[in-house]
Amino acid sequence: MGLEEKFQDLQSIYMELLNDVDFDKPSFRITMYFIIFNPVFWNIVARLEYHTHFLSRFTGSARSGCYTLAGSIFLLGLGRDVYFRRALNDQPKSALLDDDRIAVAGRFLAIIGQVLVATSMWKLRITGTYLGDYFGILMDEIVTDFPFNVSSNPMYQGSTLTFIGYTLMEGKAAGLLLSFMVYSMYYFALKFEEPFTAMIYAKRDEERANRKKKVT
pLDDT given at position 31: 98
Statement: residue 206 has pLDDT above 70: yes
List all residues 6 or more positions away from 160 whose beta carbon is below 8 Å from its beta carbon.
Answer: 113, 179, 182, 183, 186
Q: Does 5 appear as a known binding residue?
A: no
Element containing residue 78 per DSSP (H, E): helix 62-89
Q: Does 142 appear as a known binding residue?
A: no
Judge whether 16 lies within some domain. Answer: no
CA gap 84, 169 in Å, rounded: 13
Judge whether 131 lies within some domain. Answer: yes
pLDDT given at position 8: 62
Report percent pLDDT > 70 for the chain. Answer: 94
Statement: residue 13 has pLDDT above 90: no
pTM of the model: 0.91
Residue 77 burial by Cβ neighbours in a 10 Å radius (0-12, 13-18, 19+): middle
Statement: residue 21 has pLDDT above 60: yes
Judge whether 163 lies within some domain. Answer: yes
Q: Does 102 appear as a known binding residue?
A: no
* pLDDT band, very low/low/confident/very high, at 71 (cuts 50, 70, 90): very high
Judge whether 160 lies within some domain. Answer: yes
The amino acid occupying position 9 is D
Q: How many structural domains are present in the chain?
A: 1
Q: Does 111 appear as a known binding residue?
A: yes
Q: Does 194 appear as a known binding residue?
A: yes
The boundaries of the domain holding residue 152 are 21-215
